[in-house]
Amino acid sequence: MIAVFILFLLANLALLVPASVFAIEVLAGATRRGHAPAALPGRRPGVAVLVPAHQEEAGIGETVTALRAQLGPADRLLVVADNCSDETAALARSAGAEVVERRDPDRRGKGYALDFGVRHLEASPPEIVLIVDADCTLAAGAIDRLAVEAVASRRPVQGCYLMAVPPGGGIGMQVAEFAFLVKNRVRPAGLHRLGLPCHLTGTGMAFPWAVLRDADLAHGSLVEDMKLGLDLAMKGAAPRYCESARIHSYFPYSQTGAATQRRRWEEGHLGLLALAFSRLPGALAARQPGSVALTLDILVPPLTLLLLFVGAAWLVTGAATLMLGLPALVWGIASANLVLLLLSLALAWHVFGRAVLPARSLVLVVPYVLQKLRLYGGMALGSRSRGWVRTDRQGPKE
């Protein structure tokens, strides 16, 4: 009986860590209400915007045109057309971008494309490199703000990257939009309010050249951004969050595209858990609060999975307590985990999410969770994403 009690106690204490981290981040983020962005704190440095692109002919011209509108005469816009078999390179050039083409089918991935672009920039290095995905739109002034903060802090700066339901995309994506908002706005804002760094989220990232030049980019990680942020934090260059620099994109229209994108994110995050565990002792020993914070943040699993773990632990622990007569302490911890998580989600929804996920749409949470269960089931059976596959964003047929 003692062994069973210890097993349940340790399991629920382990879940208390991600539940508490999530709750602290949400609470801090929710108390940081919106305000007008402050004036730019310093001079605007020279910028090279680096756009990794794979099979992006449908939108690369529009992206290049929008980015050029925010650039000065001395800035550069470099598109890396990576293993493209379409007209991505030609269309980017015709829209006014500098283009380099990379062909290496055995080493596919966004990280390889970024490394290729950085090596190309070495001949004439800029002060700041800004990485933007080919399917994103930057709000007016975002490049200036990110560049100025990066040069002033000498650290990477991450803008507020949000994804929305596309026009005609259906209300079923509203839950995903809310979950993305919690991950990329609420939680980073909480970390920033606590004086801690944030994770890199893949686009809208500004780097001082000296920081990015020697970074480990050439790999095929599905979440190269989170890995890069953790690597840089361990080197004393933890990323800062800049909520006033907004970056927008749309979820895929199709269920296939949405599932592909979701699978990559989930697999990549789960794959980083082992790395985070391995680096936590070193961060603690080095007394690096930023590295510790980012490591603990990675240990928070994807939101649906965390809910499933905590909910299942509460049910199983409650049943074991009643049937086996376990001390009430262990079910109390399980209950605290569940209440903490649910209250945090309710707070995030009340402060940030009601416009994205109205109360009448909360019923959509159920099918969303069921979709995630199918995803996790496939992953448990060994299904994995392969290489850098462009997300299907094809809209509905006219």
pLDDT at residue number 161: 97
pLDDT digits (tens, 9 = 90+) for 58-70: 999 999 999 999 9
Query: Following DSSP, what letter does each residue of 303-354 receive, concatenated?
Result: HHHHHHHHHHHHHHHHHHHHHH---HHHHHHHHHHHHHHHHHHHHHIIIIIT
pLDDT at residue number 398: 39
Q: In sequence order, what are the beta bridge partners of 53? A: 81
pLDDT at residue number 397: 42
Distance in angstroms (rounded) separating the CA atoms of residues 228 and 138 = 22
- Mean residue pLDDT of the chain comes to 87
Chain centroid offset of residue 285 CA: 27
Q: Is 269 helix (H, G, I), strand (E, B) or coil?
A: helix
- Measuring CA to CA, which residue among 293, 69, 295, 75 is closest to residue 197? 293
Query: Following DSSP, what letter does each residue of 213-255 receive, concatenated?
Result: HT----S--TTHHHHHHHHHHHTT-PPEEEEEEEEEEE--SSH
- Measuring CA to CA, which residue among 231, 238, 239, 197 is closest to residue 214? 231
Q: In sequence order, what are the beta bridge partners of 47? A: 128
**Phi/psi-derived region of residue 29, left when phi > 0, alpha when psi is between -120 and 50, beta in every other case:** alpha
Distance in angstroms (rounded) separating the CA atoms of residues 196 and 139 = 25
- Residue segments in the chain with a per-residue pLDDT below the cut of 70: 32-42, 169-172, 220-223, 253-268, 271, 375-398
pLDDT at residue number 396: 45
Distance in angstroms (rounded) separating the CA atoms of residues 32 and 189 = 7
Distance in angstroms (rounded) separating the CA atoms of residues 125 and 387 = 29
pTM reported for the whole predicted model: 0.86
pLDDT digits (tens, 9 = 90+) for 66-115: 999 999 999 999 999 999 999 999 999 999 999 999 999 888 889 999 99
- Measuring CA to CA, which residue among 191, 212, 235 is closest to residue 49? 212
- Measuring CA to CA, which residue among 112, 40, 121 is closest to residue 76? 121
Distance in angstroms (rounded) separating the CA atoms of residues 79 and 114 = 10
